[in-house]
Structure 1
């Protein structure tokens, strides 16, 4: 657990947790804890039992905003993409008048990268810290979206150039991840919209208006991933078309080869008959002439097929 006094973006470590029970003269307290440490914080800050239960029991929480008498419980999901799978990590936040408690199960990058922003903006209130955290989480969705779009374009190029069976597995997997993520984006967009429009006494009125900009970004992200879903459907159709075209190419080659060997088979069939009087049968160079004719016939048909672009 990390306890800090934040005043105008400057961090001061705090050792005694009981110090945070009363408002500081300036600034606010930021308590960064894991899920297990939340139990020790509950009686000190009067955190509601239902909020604690959600943090302890739900591995993947639905984004939410719950208003209690002395604090707000807000859940948003941070995103990470490793080119194969999308991961969502819940960022649980308890906002009080003079403190912000962040609770996570895994490490979240936004909690580490937020410090320079607090310093630059000279943040001195808990609601402003929460605002910057939500803003950073939402901005990261755009970065992940760019990587997913790049992966879709790369996959499309690979399919058109060299279609493989593994491509279909990758398409299905990535499409499932996008559909699953899209279900989460809706509730998260609504939560951010509530932070903008709902009357919340623990938020500064002027600051609350800035959540409207974050809400617009959340709407754009939802629409973007809707587009990605359509792109994945088009990608699957492109894969199926590519496979069908490849099969047609193979069948065309086989058909052409079969057609080339048909007259050769006809000739060998005739000379394989059990008759004495067949032209060239007893000629000294008959077999050589026949092989030459067959070779010329085969190469001639091959040349015609190539010229007509049948092969």
Structure 2
């Protein structure tokens, strides 16, 4: 657990947690905690039992805002994409008058990247801190969406150029990830809308208007992933169409080869019959002439098929 006094974006470490129980003269306290630290924090700050229980028992939480007497409990999901799987990590926040407690199971990049923003914006209130944190989380969805779009484009190009059976596994896996993520984006969009419109005494009314900007991005992200879902359906159709075209190409080659060998088989069939007299059998160069004739016929048919673009 790390305790910091934040004043105008400047971080000052605090060793004794009891100092954070009372409002500072300037700034606020940011307590970055793990799940194990809740046993200490709950009685000191009066954190509600249900909120603490959610942090401890639910690994994947639904984004939400719960209002209690002395604090708010806010859950928002941070996203990470490693080009194979999408991961969501719950960011639990307890917002009070003079403190913000963040509780996570795993490390979340936004908690590190928010520090320069707090210093640049000279943040000195916990609600502003939470605003910038939520803004970073939502912006990260946009960057992940760009990477997913690039992956879809690369996958489409690979399917059109070199169709493989592994492509279908990739399509099904990525589509499932997108559908699962889309279910999470709905509640997250509603959460940000609540932060923007609901009368919340622990969040400055002027600051709430800025949450409307984040809400617009959340709506855009939701619509974007809706588009990605449709694109994955089109990609699956392109895969099946490519397989069908490839099968047609193979059948066309086999058909052409069979057609080329038909007259050759006819000639060899005639000369394989057991008759006493077959034209050219007594000629000493008969085999050479016959083989040459077969070669000319085969090459001629191959040239004809190539000219007509059948091969």
Question: Into which bin does the TM-score normalised by the smaller protein fall?
Answer: over 0.9
Alignment of 1:234-253 (within 5 A): 234-253=234-253
Q: Which residue of 2 aligns with 1:214?
A: 214
CA apart distance, 1:286: 0.8
Separation in 1, partners of 2:262, 2:81 = 56
SS at match of 2:240: helix
Separation in 2, partners of 1:224, 1:34 = 33
Alignment of 1:104-253 (within 5 A): 104-253=104-253
Separation in 2, partners of 1:18, 1:262 = 95
Separation in 1, partners of 2:236, 2:206 = 47
Separation in 1, partners of 2:130, 2:159 = 44
Separation in 2, partners of 1:124, 1:116 = 14
CA apart distance, 1:213: 0.6
1:140-189, CA deviations, whole angstroms, 9 ceiling, x for partnerless residues?
A: 11100111111111111111111111111111111110000000000000
Separation in 2, partners of 1:38, 1:167 = 45
Q: Which residue of 1 aligns with 2:17?
A: 17
SS at match of 2:36: coil
Q: Which residue of 2 aligns with 1:70?
A: 70
1:87 aligns with 2:72: no
1:280 aligns with 2:271: no
1:61 aligns with 2:61: yes
SS at match of 1:84: coil
Give the alignment's Cα RMSD to 1 decimal.
Answer: 0.6
Separation in 2, partners of 1:50, 1:274 = 97
CA apart distance, 1:37: 1.2
CA apart distance, 1:107: 0.6
SS at match of 2:282: coil
Separation in 2, partners of 1:59, 1:273 = 81
CA apart distance, 1:283: 1.5
Which piece of structure 1 moves more, 119-128 or 159-168?
Answer: 159-168
SS at match of 2:59: coil
Q: Which runs of 4+ in 1 moved over 3 A?
A: none
Gaps of 5+ in 2: none
CA apart distance, 1:36: 1.4
Alignment of 1:284-303 (within 5 A): 284-303=284-303
1:66-92, CA deviations, whole angstroms, 9 ceiling, x for partnerless residues?
A: 000110000000011111111100000
CA apart distance, 1:126: 0.4
